Amino acid sequence: MIEVVLLDTALEVDQFRLVPTILVAAMLTLFLGIGYFFRVAAVDELWVAGRSIGPVENGMAIGANWMSAASYLGVAALVATVGYFGLAYVVGWTTGYFLLLIFMAAQFRRFGKYTAPDFVGDRFYSSRARAIAAFTTLAIAFVYAIGQASGMGLMGRYIFGVSYEVGVILLMAVTIGYVVLSGMLGTTKNMAVQYIILIIAFTVGLYATGWSQGWTTVFPYLEAGSETAAAADIETQLVEPFAFTSYYGWIALAFSLIVGTCGLPHVLVRFYTVENERTARWSTVWGLFFICILYWGTAIYAVFGGILYDESSLAATGGEGEGFMHMSGEDADALVVLTTELAGLPEWLVGLVAAGAVAAALATTAGLFITASSAAAHDIYTNLYKPNATQREQMIVGRSTILAVGILVTLIGLNPPALIGELVAMAFAIAGCIFFPVFFLGLWWENTTREGAIAGMLVGMFISFGAIINDTIYPMYIEGVDPANIEAADALIPTLAETVPGVSSALVGVPIVFAVIIGVSFVTEDPPEDVKRLVRQCHSPEPMDQMDSAEDVATDGGIEESSDD
């Protein structure tokens, strides 16, 4: 039985707000309208938007895809509650895009398939490898989307005055509806609009807070030094490096987020939606620019929100407040919106900031659902179960998968096992451990074998899933520990929780998986020559046509997958 969560927060919730509701209703209607207008009837439009997206539009879609509830709400929450440690999220989530730009964006586009499991199955000529990759894609989408559902519930409670549970169900239902209707083409068009909405809402809220309090004028990102010092006077741990974790813990988290960025299927599929490899590279550059616009402001929100929260807490408790770094997890996750409310900004403006959070959660969830549906319909149903499946059958399976995953995410989102940022970090650790070594070696070392890839992915699954079970699932669901109070001592194996935590298992997992793949590849038979040509073609300087893939150029026929690995 699912136990629902009753959230207590400093936000003025549980009352209907007309203007914010109108804003969100108009936004959701716009999303559904765009989805209907760009509705799809072909597989390539459902999963890769007909490879027709331009660099700026795709960069905005990357930004919206990336600016999840974890980025819009969760990063400010983490910086406010764990200080310097929270900056590891910003460092990790941006640095990973430089690796993508240099090593993977153009190469993935030249490979030219539909999905991440497509790459694994064709590059390693193995249906078993494809199946493992498809399962991992579904797992990542599921874990990642839970954090988005949590953000939707928080914002739904503030905007509509409904319970947290109703907020989750209502906004998840809208997301499922427009993704089922529109596919990748409509979702991409929506993501560009969603990015514009979320960045305007986030930035206007930040500027308005600074102006209303007399803290900043033109450029709050550089003007908030005195406020940062004031926040540090309230909570000295805010600016103390490694006050909440060790040096190892900081590096482990940043590394996991960096490599996880390079292994996320819903990010990599963005490179399949563009015309050629040059557009893929420029999409990454534009995406990084759009992402940085928001990340520059997260720490400032943490400082502004921390000061205002502390003032409010002291006033409410007669000077007995504990300080903003001790705020509840619910207040922390809502801090961006809470900051604008505590600053005394008009209700419509606070509602706009909340609407931006909804747009952020919807955009990321939509991308996750598309990757989950393609893994089920294209990689499992069509490539593994029924190779002669019609487009109509694939569309039915894909849309059914979106519905099924959406329902599961909604149920777990009613009682999430961690804060929004932590849930997303777990998804990154899974992607980093399982996918990053396979993608990187698959693109850059032509002698990587299917046996090596399969062995590496299985080891990565054991490390990443094992770490999450050890320090999150076991304490919460077996021992009944409140997720906000889980510590390493509560884990099934406490020592393991300190060295291989669920949110940052990739620092240990990635080197091990690399070693396993390389070692097994050395002692097994080399890949077929046509596979090696496929890898070389991914690095060719010759431009490609819009619908070309490396396989089209490198081979006359195709690469046959082995079903008896």
pLDDT one-digit tens code per residue, 438-476: 999 999 999 999 999 999 999 999 999 999 999 888 888
In this structure, what token pair is assigned to residue 69? Answer: 């509830």
8 A C-beta contact, residue 182 and residue 61:
no
pLDDT value at position 237?
82
| 170 exposure class (CB count in 10 Å sphere: 0-12, 13-18, 19+) | middle
User: CB–CB of 144/364 below 8 Å?
Assistant: yes
Contact in structure between 154 and 420 (CB atoms under 8 Å): no
> How many whole angstroms separate alpha carbon 221 and alpha carbon 16?
33
- Read off the tokens for 302: 């943490």
Identify the sign of the CA torsion 103, 509, 433, 254. Answer: negative
Q: Are 253 and 91 spatial neighbours (Cβ–Cβ below 8 Å)?
A: no
Query: Is the separation of the CB atoms in 336 and 70 below 8 Å?
Result: no
Are the C-beta atoms of 337 and 354 separated by less than 8 Å? yes
Rounded to the nearest angstrom, the gap between the alpha carbon of residue 167 and the centroid of all alpha carbons in its chain is 20
CB atoms within 10 A of CB 514: 17
Residue 518: CB atoms within 10 A of its CB come to 16
Give me the pLDDT at residue 5, please. 36
Task: Please list the ranges in the chain whose pLDDT falls under 70.
Answer: 1-14, 38-54, 113-114, 182-188, 272-276, 314-321, 418-419, 484, 541-565
pTM of the model: 0.83
Both tokens assigned to 47: 């999963």
Instruction: Give the span between the Cα atoms of 154 and 151, in whole angstroms.
Output: 5
Question: What pLDDT is attached to residue 434?
Answer: 96
Amino acid 410 reads T
Cα 259–chain centre separation:
13
Distance CA 51, CA 188 (A): 11
Q: Would you give the DSSP letter of residue 345?
A: -
C-alpha triplet 265, 422, 310: angle, nearest 5°: 140
Smallest CA-to-CA distance from 35 within 180, 173, 189, 182 is with 182
Q: What pLDDT is stored for residue 425 in this prediction?
A: 86
Which residues, other chains included, contact 401 with Cβ-Cβ below 8 Å and sequence gap of 6+? Answer: 372, 373, 375, 376, 377
Q: Are 357 and 337 in contact (CB under 8 A)?
A: yes
Which of 449, 429, 447, 395 minimizes the C-alpha distance to 128?
449
| The predicted structure's pLDDT at residue 72 | 86
User: Closest Cα partner for 308 from 339, 334, 350?
Assistant: 339
d(CA 369, CA 400) in angstroms, rounded, equals 11
Look at residues 420, 242, 414 and name the one whose alpha carbon lies nearest to residue 336. 420
**What is the rounded CA–CA span in Å between residue 158 and residue 279?**
40
Cα(147)–Cα(408) distance, integer angstroms? 13
- Residue of 413, 376, 110, 385 whose CA lies nearest to 265: 376
Identify the pLDDT of residue 484: 64
Q: How far apart are CA 527 and CA 549, in angstroms?
A: 19
Q: Is the dihedral of CA 300, 200, 181, 375 positive or negative?
A: negative
Total count of residues recorded for the chain? 565
For 368-386, the three-class secondary structure string (H helix, E strand, C coil) is HHHHHHHHHHHHHHHHHHC
Residue 381 · residue 397 · CB < 8 Å:
yes
Q: How far lies 489's CA from each of 97, 145, 406, 485, 508, in Å?
A: 35, 28, 33, 11, 20
- Check residue 11 and give its pLDDT: 58
